[in-house]
Structure 1
Amino acid sequence: MTTEAQPTLAEFIDNWEETSEGNRKAFLRLKAHLAAKDGAVLTFIPRKGVTYSLRGTHPRQTDKSLFVMVDVIEDAPRWISVCFYGEMITDPDELGDFVPEGLLGEDAICFDIEEWDDAQIGYIESRIDEAFDAASNG
């Protein structure tokens, strides 16, 4: 498939019908949180039928290629996996899953969102804040 046939982020969002789980709304909230980070660069990498990945990077980041990866997993219904490099965040409530070599070959902590949960999303936003701060310090 050529890149021209891949959806843009806007097309992906526009074509995603909300379901009772509320995962489209959760994705939009996480996207907005990332977009509000001064200096954050967002990249959308679609793998149609598999995952749709929103990746956050920071220009000052030198040792990692990103600070967060928000994947929409193509399933019925779609769900979201938010992954961080293990050393860039804390997980004080131990809500994430440790995934050896789970993020671009490095150890990761990932949080799965299967349905809208305001507290869970807020907790993940705090992890995004931590990872962004770590990335902005190089």
Structure 2
Amino acid sequence: MFENKNYETELNDFIENWKTDELNAKPAFARLKDKLLKKKNTLLSFHSRAGITYSLRATIKKSSAKDNPLFAMVDIIDDDPANRWLSVCFFGDMITDPDEIGDFVPEGLLGQDAHCFDYDNQDEELLLYIEQRIDEAHAYMCDEQNN
């Protein structure tokens, strides 16, 4: 569910107005959004910075996590609106990257180390891999909350 109705409305308006999609990022974004919406105890927020990024952030509801309840961030990179692409990031200690596909980004997510995965083509295997990382990060946060 969305943290508040405004986030949901703003995201739906953005998606509806996203007409040009040469890299086919829109269907991948919709798929990741739907996956996050199905996650138990998850709240989504949407942060728009036109010309830079459109950010879908997933947090654990009523988290007692020590640091940040955020477990996934799906950014639509908007440096060229005709060629938007996705950057999906997780805190470095929340996931594994067994195939070493992601980029390690020191202090890259809210000032903390991150693993980010760039999606800029129609790659079903990569999308499945990212979905597995979402599952992993969500499980990590749910375990943190229960400890």
TM-score between both structures, scaled by the size of structure 2: 0.86
**1:69 paired residue number:** 73
1:17 partner letter: K
Structure 1 residues without counterparts, runs of 5 or longer: none
Residue 18 (structure 1) shift: 4.6
Instruction: Deviation per CA, 1:12-54: give whole Å up to 9, x if none.
Output: 1001125242100110010011011011100001112210000
Instruction: Deviation per CA, 1:52-89: give whole Å up to 9, x if none.
Output: 00000002351224001100000330011000000000
> In 2, distance between residues paired with 1:127 and 1:10?
25
Does residue 111 (structure 1) correspond to residue 113 (structure 2)? The answer is no
> In 2, distance between residues paired with 1:8 and 1:34?
17
Kindly report the root-mean-square deviation, in angstroms, between the aligned alpha carbons of the 2 structures: 1.5
Correspondences of 1:48-59 after superposition (within 5 Å): 48-59=50-61
TM-aligned CA distance change 1:102 to 1:61, over 3 Å = farther
**1:15 paired residue number:** 17
**1:101 paired residue number:** 107
4+ residue segments displaced more than 6 Å: none
TM-aligned CA distance change 1:78 to 1:132, over 3 Å = same
Structure 2 residues without counterparts, runs of 5 or longer: 1-5
Identity of aligned residues (%): 51
**2:3 paired residue number:** none
**2:138 paired residue number:** 132
Indicate the SS of the match to 1:68: strand
Give the conservation status (yes or no) of the 8 Å contact 1:18–1:25: no
Residue 122 (structure 1) shift: 0.4
TM-score between both structures, scaled by the size of structure 1: 0.91
Give the conservation status (yes or no) of the 8 Å contact 1:73–1:80: yes
**1:25 paired residue number:** 27
Give the conservation status (yes or no) of the 8 Å contact 2:69–2:141: no
Give the conservation status (yes or no) of the 8 Å contact 1:68–1:84: yes
